[in-house]
Amino acid sequence: MIRFDAVTKTYPGGTTAVDGLTLEAPTGQITVLVGPSGCGKTTSLRMVNRMIEPTSGTISIDGRDTASMDPATLRRGIGYVIQHGGLFPHHTIERNIATVPLLLGTDKSTAYARARELLERVGLPQSLAKRYPAQLSGGQQQRVGVARALAADPPVMLMDEPFSAVDPVVRTQLQAEFLRLQRDLGKTILFVTHDIDEAITLGDQVAVLRVGGHLAQMASPSELLAHPADDFVADFVGRDRGYRALSFVDGVLPALAEPTVAVGDSAELARERAIDGWVLVTDDERPLGWYAVGSPGDQVTAERLALGGTLARQGGTLRAALDSALSAPSGRGVVVTDEGKLAGTLTAAAVIEVIEQQRTGRDRAPAVQDDPSAEPRIQHSPGGESP
């Protein structure tokens, strides 16, 4: 646990970057500091590993006051990831990742072996080990930055806008992989971002800071969206917070079975199975895309598929389910199992129905679920009716 106790940072000249900040970042969770520029979020983060010294107040990690520790020793025990990666351009990727273990006296072959292991862990091939940072894309460099921070297996990680310098598609990937990694590792993470969407996606709890370094609200993402503490937080969280709040609601989704064809099947078969002019194409039960009846050619081919629909994971959130329905050309969102296999499809109307039921508080499952004569459908992991 990282604990800030009445921490203030005032610069010579009188600017107050952080003003009496008190908060706790619980062990094994992601705590996100978010706010507009000038709110002191990066300053707060950098005070934890004493890159900046607080003017007053104490910061402790697992009960130990950081001011009592040697700065270099303290920093070697904390993973540190920064915005532009900060990789050493003259070192190979594996040497970069091995930095802290080598500082700690680990022998070279052990440190390099661990570096290669970590490359795979962050989703990069081991063949990159001997390359130099300039040979990697921005997204790959950020992954190496994360691997480097993990190298000495520190219990605590500080991440300063680690994904903000990459394009949105790569950022979404990195965020998803980061969450997956965190599920395995359970690090105590303090994460700084200016992007409220990122804060809500990643945070177990989110601390919203306002300019001048005051804590405006500290809450779970769903709490933040549902009950912003004041106008500043409400404004910062944004207008479509109602839609975003669906990210934290899972429900029992009435997904229906969907007939499918495979690549190579005849256009005739596709026409027979299509519903409303669209048929889902799968390969070994994995959804590939939608095929429109009446497409040129007498066979279903991979080139003619309409792509771009998002997939909703079984037991996932209402937001993902709604998004999948809205983005599908057929109007039927594709739901997949955790293994990526087709579970069924559902329409936006069906998702809205679930939302409505939850809003009105009536604990009524969709009628079709109780009707044994209805079409076979996939029952999703209950996951918990939302509170």
Partner 1 sequence: MITSIWAWLRDPAHWSGADGIPTRLAEHLGYTAIVMVLAAAIALPLGLYVGHSGRARWLITAANAARAVPTLGLLFALSLWLGPKLSGDLAFSAPSIIVLVLLAIPPLLAGAYAGVEAVDPAARDAAKGMGMQPAQVLRSVELPVALPLLLSGVRAALLQVIATATIAAYVGLGGLGRYLIDGLATGDYAATAGGALLVAGLALAADLLLAALTRAVVSPGLTGKYRGADGVDIPGRTDVAFER
Q: How far is the CB of 294 from partner 1 (least distance, A)?
A: 27
Give strand pairing partners of 282. 287
How far apart (Å, rounded) are the C-alpha atoms in residues 99 and 103? 6
Q: How far is the CB of 169 from partner 1 (least distance, A)?
A: 7
Please enumerate in sequence order all residues whose Cβ is within 8 A of that of 121, keeping only pairs 6 or more positions apart, or say none.
147, 150, 181
Q: How far is the CB of 87 from partner 1 (least distance, A)?
A: 7
Q: How far is the CB of 341 from partner 1 (least distance, A)?
A: 13
Could you write out the DSSP letters of every residue in 210-261?
A: ETTTEEEEEE-HHHHHHS-SSHHHHHHH-TTHHHHGGGG------EE---EE
Q: How far is the CB of 216 from partner 1 (least distance, A)?
A: 26
Is the CB of 145 or the CB of 210 nearer to partner 1?
145
Is the CB of 215 or the CB of 325 nearer to partner 1?
325
Is the CB of 274 or the CB of 342 nearer to partner 1?
342
Q: How far is the CB of 137 from partner 1 (least distance, A)?
A: 6
Q: How far is the CB of 67 from partner 1 (least distance, A)?
A: 16
From residue 157, how far is each of 78, 93, 136, 260 by CA, in Å?
A: 6, 20, 24, 46
Do 292 and 278 meet the contact criterion of CB atoms below 8 Å apart? yes
Is the CB of 190 or the CB of 274 nearer to partner 1?
190
What stretches of 88-220 adopt beta strand conformation (E)? 156-160, 188-193, 205-210, 214-219
Do 245 and 226 meet the contact criterion of CB atoms below 8 Å apart? yes
How far apart (Å, rounded) are the C-alpha atoms in residues 349 and 326? 10
Please enumerate in sequence order all residues whose Cβ is within 8 A of that of 35, keeping only pairs 6 or more positions apart, or say none.
41, 194, 208, 209, 210, 211, 216, 236
Is the CB of 9 or the CB of 75 nearer to partner 1?
75
For binding to partner 1 (CB under 8 A), which residues are involved? 49, 51, 71-77, 80, 82-92, 99-100, 103, 123-125, 127-128, 131-137, 139-140, 143, 145, 148, 158, 169-170, 172-173, 176-177, 180, 201, 310-311, 313, 316-317, 320
List own/partner pairs for 173-180 with CB under 8 A and 24 or more apart. 173/139, 174/139, 174/142, 174/143, 175/201, 175/202, 177/122, 177/123, 177/143, 178/146, 178/202
Do 254 and 368 meet the contact criterion of CB atoms below 8 Å apart? yes
Q: What sign has the CA pseudo-torsion 222, 225, 227, 232?
A: positive
Is the CB of 14 or the CB of 89 nearer to partner 1?
89
Q: How far is the CB of 327 from partner 1 (least distance, A)?
A: 10
Is the CB of 274 or the CB of 311 nearer to partner 1?
311
* Overall residue count recorded for the chain in this entry: 387
Is the CB of 180 or the CB of 227 nearer to partner 1?
180
Helices (H) and strands (E) counted in the chain, each on its own, are 14, 18
Q: How far is the CB of 46 from partner 1 (least distance, A)?
A: 8
Is the CB of 19 or the CB of 177 nearer to partner 1?
177
